[in-house]
Structures are given as structure tokens and as C-alpha cells.
């Protein structure tokens, strides 16, 4: 085959690949828009589809306007940013650890957040933050846990991925034990609040929650996004990445900071919601391959759509009450985790 033929064949492959990426992106965006309007309509108060647009812009019955603008809309936006954050955080961890079953929880950050929230709810620690005490305590402990894990993983030879993983598991187990101790010690009137928070829910999310979580989540997503090319190279192996000019230590720290910011902002307003960072990245990895430059935007869109849909189901399934969303994601995620575990060799992590 001549060089010209090879070049033309490469152009055809690139054109087909671009078309595939474009179709998947359009479908994902369509699902996100559909999820948004379905969730906007879902609730104990019936509102027809033909009124939604007018109500969004403040036109119509003022009670319905309030329900849409002040209750459902901020909750849906909180779902979207949390879903996007958890999804991209899981993607970053899988690329960094080169393990398809990795997720932010392996660093113990969720357990740290749970401990911070339990301290605020059980003993009033952080009451200087007023109504934001639980949210900010969860954020502080979530982000602080990352630095604790990284410090514990440091050795004279630096920070290895094995030590980081083991430190995360140990710290997570320690904080889980402390949370259990708090649940045992608090009075019966406080316990249900802690248990409900640990299950994950957007029931208390409003505009204040959205504003509080938006900045750390956006910063975390941007940091991970800037590391997309390095993630692709690290997927080949850290030694190979080093020979190709990647500062592996610097990228590792940046990814840990980005992941921690995204997870901390999410957990602070929604509680513990598992498996999102496992399900969404794998769905898109199976469709478009291991290129993080493509996977990152798709995971953001897909994670947002997934979380909005899950929250709508949680509100609808036992209406007028609602099911904690963490229960739904666990029921869906656990079988998916088993599937990934059983078919691990079929997944392409970049260098495999």
C-alpha cells in the first residue's frame, strides 16, 4: 500500500470515528434534555408539559411558578452537577489507577465526608456555620481526607499507587468506624437524620446548595479536563508516561485535587451516592473507547442525565414520599460492578 493510500485510509478512519463521537454526543445531549423536562414535571403536584416553559420564565400560576423555579429547578441542577462530578471523578480514578473498578471511594473521601456530616448532625460541631454546618463539615472533611491519605502514602521513595490505595482503604475504614460509633452514641431523635444523609438524597437541595457546590465542582472538573491527554498517556503505564515526558507525580497530585474538589462539592449537598463514577464512564468507554479527551465531556453529560433520571425515579416511585437516591444507585450499581468484575479483561483502559 502506498503512502497516499495509507493517508486516505487514515482519513476515512478519522471521519468515521468523528461521526461516531458526534452521534454519541448528540444522543447523550438529547437524553439530558429529555431527563431535564421529565424531572421538571415529576412531583406530587401535577404540572402538564405544555406549561413547563412558561413556568420556567415566571409566567402562569404563581404557586406553580414557585414550585418550578424554587423547588424543582434548583434540585434538578444540583442533580446535574453532582452526577457530572461523580462521573468524571470515577473516570479520573480509573485512568489514574488503571483499574476499571476504581472509584473516588477507594481514597476514603466519601467516608471522611460522612464523618464530618455525622459530627455536625450528632454533636453540633461546626455550628458556627449555621444552617450550612452539615454541608461545610462534609466538604471540609472530604477534602481534608485526601491530604491525609496522600500524607500517609508518602515514603522516602515518593508516593506509589499501591501505598495510596492501601492508605485510602485504611482511612476509609477508620472513618466508617467513627461514623458507626456516632450512630451508636447519638439519641434516637438525631439518628434518623444521620442515616438518611448517608443514604444520599437531594430533598434539601435548593439554590443555596447549588451555589455552594458549583464552584468546587467546576474547578475540579476543569482540573481533570486539563489532564485528559496525560491520562491517556498514563493509561499506557507510569514508566512509559515518564519516558514520554509526562510529569507523573504532578499529574497525580492534580487529579487527586480535582477529584477531591468534585467529590467534596457533591457529597456536601447530596450525601453519599455510590456507583455513579463506575457506571457512566464504563458505558461510554464501551461505546467510544478509552480516549479521555472524548470520555470526559461524555461522562459529564451522561452523569448529569443519569443522576437527574435517578432522582426523578426516587421522587416518583413512592410518591408523595421519596426514596433516597443512594438506594437506587446501589441497586443498579452493584450488579453492574459484578458485571465489570467478571468481564474486566474485555475493557480497554488505554494501555491494555
What CATH number corresponds to the domain at position 118?
Answer: 1.10.3470.10
Predicted model pTM: 0.89
Quick check: is 179 in a domain?
yes
Q: With bands split at pLDDT 50, 70 and 90, how would you rate the model's confidence at 347?
A: low
Name the residue with higher pLDDT: 119 or 8: 119
Q: Is 15 domain-assigned?
A: no
CA distances from 238 to 157, 167, 251 (A): 15, 20, 11
In a domain, 5, yes or no: no
Whether 107 maps to a domain, the answer reads yes
CB atoms closer than 10 angstroms to residue 19: 10
Cβ-based neighbour number of residue 287 at 10 Å: 17
330 pLDDT exceeds 80? yes
- Residues β-bridged to residue 154: 159
More confident residue, 273 or 131: 273
Write out the residue range of the structural domain in which residue 207 sits: 77-346
- In-domain check, residue 157: yes
What is the greatest pairwise CA distance in the chain? 79
The winner for highest mean pLDDT among 199-203, 267-271, 281-285, 300-304 is: 300-304
The pLDDT of residue 278: 86
d(CA 336, CA 100): 12
Residue 162 lies in a domain: yes
| Secondary structure class of 158 (helix, strand, coil) | strand
Number of folded domains that form the chain: 1
For residues 326 and 272, is the Cβ–Cβ distance under 8 A? yes
pLDDT tens-digit readout, 196-251: 888 899 988 999 999 989 999 999 999 999 999 998 888 777 777 778 788 888 88
171 belongs to a structural domain: yes
- Type and span of the H or E element at 262: helix 248-270
Amino acid at each position: 500500500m502506498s503512502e497516499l493510500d495509507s493517508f486516505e485510509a487514515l482519513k476515512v478512519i478519522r471521519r468515521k470515528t468523528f461521526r461516531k463521537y458526534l452521534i454519541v454526543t448528540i444522543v447523550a445531549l438529547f437524553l439530558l434534555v429529555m431527563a431535564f423536562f421529565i424531572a421538571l414535571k415529576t412531583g406530587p403536584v401535577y404540572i402538564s408539559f405544555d406549561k413547563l416553559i412558561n413556568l420556567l420564565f415566571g409566567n402562569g400560576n404563581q404557586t406553580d411558578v414557585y414550585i418550578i423555579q424554587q423547588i424543582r429547578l434548583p434540585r434538578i441542577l444540583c442533580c446535574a452537577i453532582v452526577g457530572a462530578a461523580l462521573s468524571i471523578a470515577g473516570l479520573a480514578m480509573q485512568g489514574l489507577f488503571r483499574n476499571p473498578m476504581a472509584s473516588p471511594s477507594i481514597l476514603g473521601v466519601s467516608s471522611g465526608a460522612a464523618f464530618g456530616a455525622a459530627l455536625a448532625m450528632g454533636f453540633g460541631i461546626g455550628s458556627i456555620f449555621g444552617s450550612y454546618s452539615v454541608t461545610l463539615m462534609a466538604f471540609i472533611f472530604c477534602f481534608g481526607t485526601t491530604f491525609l491519605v496522600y500524607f500517609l502514602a508518602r515514603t522516602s521513595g515518593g508516593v506509589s499507587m499501591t501505598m495510596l490505595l492501601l492508605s485510602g482503604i485504611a482511612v476509609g475504614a477508620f472513618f466508617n468506624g467513627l461514623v458507626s460509633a456516632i450512630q451508636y452514641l447519638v439519641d434516637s431523635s438525631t439518628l434518623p437524620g444521620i442515616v438518611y444523609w448517608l443514604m444520599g438524597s437531594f430533598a434539601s437541595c435548593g439554590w443555596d446548595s447549588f451555589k455552594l457546590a458549583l464552584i468546587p465542582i467546576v474547578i475540579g472538573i476543569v482540573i481533570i479536563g486539563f489532564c485528559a491527554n496525560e491520562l491517556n498517556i498514563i493509561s499506557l503505564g507510569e514508566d512509559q508516561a515518564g519516558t514520554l515526558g509526562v510529569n507523573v507525580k504532578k499529574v497525580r497530585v492534580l487529579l487527586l485535587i480535582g477529584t477531591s474538589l468534585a467529590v467534596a462539592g457533591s457529597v456536601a449537598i447530596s450525601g453519599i451516592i455510590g456507583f455513579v463514577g463506575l457506571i457512566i464512564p464504563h458505558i461510554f468507554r464501551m461505546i467510544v473507547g478509552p480516549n479521555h479527551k472524548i470520555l470526559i465531556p461524555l461522562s459529564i453529560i451522561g452523569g448529569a442525565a443519569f443522576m437527574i433520571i435517578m432522582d426523578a425515579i426516587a421522587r416518583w416511585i413512592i410518591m408523595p414520599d421519596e426514596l433516597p437516591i443512594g438506594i437506587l444507585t446501589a441497586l443498579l450499581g452493584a450488579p453492574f460492578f459484578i458485571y465489570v468484575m467478571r468481564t474486566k479483561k474485555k475493557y480497554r483502559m488505554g494501555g491494555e
